[in-house]
Amino acid sequence: MGKLFTIENKKEFNEKIFTFLICFGIALLSFIYFIWKGDGFLVITNDFNDQQIPFTISAHKAILNGGISGFSWDVDLGTSTLNAYSFYCLGSPFFWLTMLFPANAFPYIAGWIYMLKYACAGLFAYIYLKRFVKDTRWAMVGAILYAFSGYSSINLIFYHFHDVIALFPLLLIGIEIIHEKKDYRLFIFAVFLNCFLNYFFFIGEVIFCIIYFIFRFVGIVSVQEFLVRTGKCIISGVLGVGMAAVLFIPSIIFITDNPRARTSIYLEKILEWQPRFLLYLFKSMLLPGEAMTSLSSVYLQKFYSSGMYLPMVGFVLVFAYMLKNKDWLFKLLIALICTCFFPFFSEAFYLYNESQMRWWYMLVLMMALASIKVLENLEENKITILGGAIGYGALIAFLYVLLEFVNYSEAEPDLIYSHFKLYTLIMIAGLGLLITYFLCTRFDNPFKVILATVSLFAFGTTFLTLYIYTKHGVPVEQYKANFQSAAQYQLPNNQYRLNDTYNLDSMVNNLAGFNNQCSTDSNSIREFEALFDYYDPVCAINKNEYKGLAELLGGKYYITPDYTVVNGQLIAEYPNDLGSTYMVEVCANPIGYAVDSYITMERLKEINVVDRGLALLIAPVIEENNSTALMRKELAEDTVNVSIPVSDYVEKNASKAVENFVRNNRGFTCRTDYDKDQYVYFAVPNDDGWSAYVDDTQVDIINSGGMMIIKVPEGEHSVAFEYVTPGYKVGLVISIFSWGLFVLYLLFYKKLVLDYSMQKTEGID
């Protein structure tokens, strides 16, 4: 039967190992200075600091305490663990790797996990790219181009985006194996892995795979074969999605009600973009990715994932390929590059939810493929490489003219905010252009030197972007000090919340709080915020800007570096490397308390928005419908007096608090003991996953502007609220069933292969 491990297999295996190691090594060189600077603790800026570190720690502890279907009290006012984190980390194999370590160790291992992501991105890109070149060494170069592109650099603050970059090539490998061997196993698993990883990016990947499939195989295979293969791919894809249903179905249910995720098609927006934004896209394509928190030109800041630069080679080899070839890849590149400038098509990748160019990593892989196909045949491509270099250089020069000399508006005539940064980016791109042309046209066998110089550029652009990000972020010493304090915080009474908007403070120890930066918090919280005419896709309403609101929501424990400026009682000191932070107790409602009146939605909206928090402190809001008819009959509508001090209302509500309030990551329990039937208000988001029980008997939950009210009888009673993420149980059943089908398919496929091998062996004998 021949040798199982041929010389060719050994060569390919060695190249895979080398690709993995060189990508890991480039990432190591890029990150190690910043890890060393923090004594092992990695801090970057913005979303990495404010979201990724606390989110990963919070998700880790929430899973241990309540499982993925439970409730996380530290995501704003409280949110489903699955819904809060399925976009960020729950489906990531890299996240589950961090679960092997203590939760609070994440900042110390984040840099090393980052390196692993880069290495995996390079490895899987190599496995895809090698199929298209005879000399597979060039696939190693292509892997570096993909893993360290401008897209990867600009998205360094979005840690979880790099999971997607790493695993996406598996989808295309699966499609190619279908073409090569009519084997659907890897494709099914790749669909599962990417769907499980991130539902948002997966939607864009599905659309890209459809486009790729059409450009790749139409005209290459017969119409009948194309249709049969399409049908089998659809069935395989559905099976892969079914395997991921335990996360995918609850996530889809969640985002259909999330204002940020709803598809909104505004004709004027999707038919044209403003010239300034088009210029920004043009610059993002041609020049190395730069820190989106501190841009050189067009915009001062722009939190879009628009980066496309391939280390050193830029567009030189892409243009060279397009000058000579008119095959499926040429057509696909033309279609994708044009798509970048037409919002109707670009936004379609994420169903007209503002894509923010987050699909560009897929185009980057196609650019890397075109580049290595040129590199493989340098002798034949010298003229086209010259054309590619001239074209790329001309576009860079044209970009500079547009930035420096064109007046876009009288209000802001100059769109260059840092000439030094812009010149640096142009210099890097220009130098890469010259080196690429020189190496490709003056060397007979330039593989090693091209591999070395591409690696050097990959390190340089990644390090430079990281440096700028960290330079404009919180100093690592300050962040570490905040982290040290946060790791010590405890709530003296779980009936109350931490009155603090900093994610880190509440999430490190899973404390109920007011943290305010999460785009996947509870939809009921959005409903509650609408009472104040407030909407923001990422940041929650500042509870301390509205009279009575922080008190209504139980914000009793205030964190401050200077307790003398807070009107409250000092109750704890938390030392850190730079000093101390302090917890001060201020007046606030308990989370659960009896109410004896209500206010209608119409009446609430008539009150000045700054006083609506106080109005809700006096009486909970209810809408006039059949479900609240009994409450309206039994309670009187309150007359709101906003001139009475907040503390008076807090004292009144505290006297009617529930007893023995205990919360966990599956819900909460308490006891009531009132001398008459009472309606009890709970300042907890009223998501569909809640079930309420009084003495083990399920009772109805009344919606109160996104919060919850239940009715309890007089006397002593036990109350329990249990939470299960909507769609989780259905998704779990579908996943188990789909995995069963996948295993049966694997066994059936293995039997076919064994039977075929035995028949072939017997024939030889």
pLDDT in tens, 73-88: 999 999 999 999 999 9
C-alpha angle 133/152/87, rounded to 5°? 110
Q: How many CB atoms lie within 10 A of CB 185?
A: 17
- Mean pLDDT of all residues in 24-49: 95
- Mean pLDDT of all residues in 99-124: 97
What is 321-332 written as a DSSP string? HHHH--SHHHHH
Strands 667-674 and 659-664: antiparallel
Query: What are the Cα distances from residue 536, in Å, to 85, 178, 277, 539, 639?
Result: 19, 44, 22, 6, 31
Given a cut of 60, is residue 311 above it in pLDDT? yes
Our CA dihedral for 247, 249, 250, 253, rounded to 10 degrees, sits at: 150
Res 316: pLDDT: 97
- Mean pLDDT of all residues in 226-250: 95
Res 522: pLDDT: 84
Write the pLDDT tens digit of every residue in 328-354. Answer: 999 999 999 999 998 888 888 887 777
Write the pLDDT tens digit of every residue in 723-763. Answer: 999 999 999 999 999 999 999 999 987 776 666 556 655 55
**Are 24 and 115 in contact, with CB atoms under 8 Å apart?**
yes
- Mean pLDDT of all residues in 552-581: 91
**Beta strand residue intervals within 10-123, DSSP E:** 71-72, 79-80
Which range is least confidently modeled, 3-17, 143-157, 704-718? 3-17
Taking each helix axis from N to C end, the angle separating 199-217 and 245-256, rounded to the nearest 10 degrees, works out to 110
Query: Phi and psi at residue 19, in whole multiples of 5°?
Result: -60, -45
**Amino acid letter at 225?**
E
**Are 581 and 560 in contact, with CB atoms under 8 Å apart?**
yes
- Tokens found for residue 263: 């598809």
Query: At which residue do the structure tokens 């790099």 appear?
Result: 162
- Tokens found for residue 261: 């995720």
Given a cut of 80, is residue 309 above it in pLDDT? yes
Res 750: pLDDT: 74
Coil vs helix vs strand at 50: helix
Given a cut of 90, is residue 124 above it in pLDDT? yes
**Are 554 and 654 in contact, with CB atoms under 8 Å apart?**
no
Closest CA to 385 of 373, 395, 398: 373
**Beta strand residue intervals within 481-614, DSSP E:** 497-499, 555-560, 569-576, 579-585, 592-595, 597-600
Q: How many CB atoms lie within 10 A of CB 443?
A: 13
| CA terminus-to-terminus distance, the chain | 11
Write the pLDDT tens digit of every residue in 393-449. Answer: 999 999 999 998 887 666 667 889 999 999 999 999 999 999 999 999 988 889 999
Given a cut of 80, is residue 269 above it in pLDDT? no
What is the number of alpha carbons within 13 Å of residue 746 lying toward its C-beta? 12
Res 565: pLDDT: 82
What is 94-135 written as a DSSP string? HHHHHTTS-GGGHHHHHHHHHHHHHHHHHHHHHHHHGGG-SS
> Domain extents for the chain?
168-262+727-765, 479-585, 592-723
Phi-psi category of 566—alpha, beta or left, where left has phi over 0 and alpha has psi -120 to 50?
A: beta
Q: What's the rounded Cα separation, in Å, for the pair 677 and 387?
A: 84
Q: What's the rounded Cα separation, in Å, for the pair 644 and 651?
A: 12
Query: What are the Cα distances from residue 552, in Å, to 252, 501, 616, 681, 720?
Result: 32, 16, 7, 10, 21
Q: What's the rounded Cα separation, in Å, for the pair 583 and 426?
A: 50
- Mean pLDDT of all residues in 663-681: 94
Strands 659-664 and 569-576: unpaired
Res 544: pLDDT: 87
Closest CA to 114 of 95, 100, 86, 141: 95
- Tokens found for residue 370: 């075109």
**Amino acid letter at 739?**
W
Closest CA to 106 of 121, 95, 117, 93: 95
Under the banding of pLDDT at 50, 70 and 90, the label for residue 271 is low
**Beta strand residue intervals within 332-465, DSSP E:** none
Res 621: pLDDT: 92
Res 538: pLDDT: 74
Write the pLDDT tens digit of every residue in 159-197. Answer: 999 999 999 999 999 999 999 988 999 999 999 999 999
Res 759: pLDDT: 61
- Mean pLDDT of all residues in 93-111: 96
Q: How many CB atoms lie within 10 A of CB 743?
A: 10
**Beta strand residue intervals within 343-457, DSSP E:** none
- Tokens found for residue 494: 């779980």
Q: What's the rounded Cα separation, in Å, for the pair 18 and 582?
A: 51
Sign of the torsion angle spanned by Cα atoms 258, 261, 265, 266: positive
Which range is least confidently modeled, 31-45, 257-271, 517-531, 635-649? 257-271
Res 4: pLDDT: 44
Given a cut of 50, is residue 474 above it in pLDDT? yes
Coil vs helix vs strand at 494: coil
Query: Phi and psi at residue 5, in whole multiples of 5°?
Result: -120, 85
Res 270: pLDDT: 53
Given a cut of 60, is residue 266 above it in pLDDT? no
- Mean pLDDT of all residues in 247-274: 68
Whole-structure pTM value: 0.93
Share of the chain above pLDDT 90, in %: 72
| CA-atom Rg of the chain in angstroms | 29
**Are 499 and 586 in contact, with CB atoms under 8 Å apart?**
yes
Given a cut of 70, is residue 457 above it in pLDDT? yes
Share of the chain above pLDDT 70, in %: 94
Write the pLDDT tens digit of every residue in 625-667. Answer: 766 777 777 777 777 777 788 888 999 999 999 999 999 989 9
Q: What's the rounded Cα separation, in Å, for the pair 628 and 631?
A: 5
Q: What's the rounded Cα separation, in Å, for the pair 318 and 333?
A: 9
- Mean pLDDT of all residues in 32-50: 94
Given a cut of 80, is residue 2 above it in pLDDT? no
Q: What's the rounded Cα separation, in Å, for the pair 253 and 31?
A: 38
Write the pLDDT tens digit of every residue in 513-558. Answer: 887 677 788 889 889 999 999 887 778 888 888 999 999 999 999 9
Q: Which neighbouring-strand residues pair with 673?
A: 716
Write the pLDDT tens digit of every residue in 190-237. Answer: 999 999 999 999 999 999 999 999 999 988 888 888 899 999 999 999
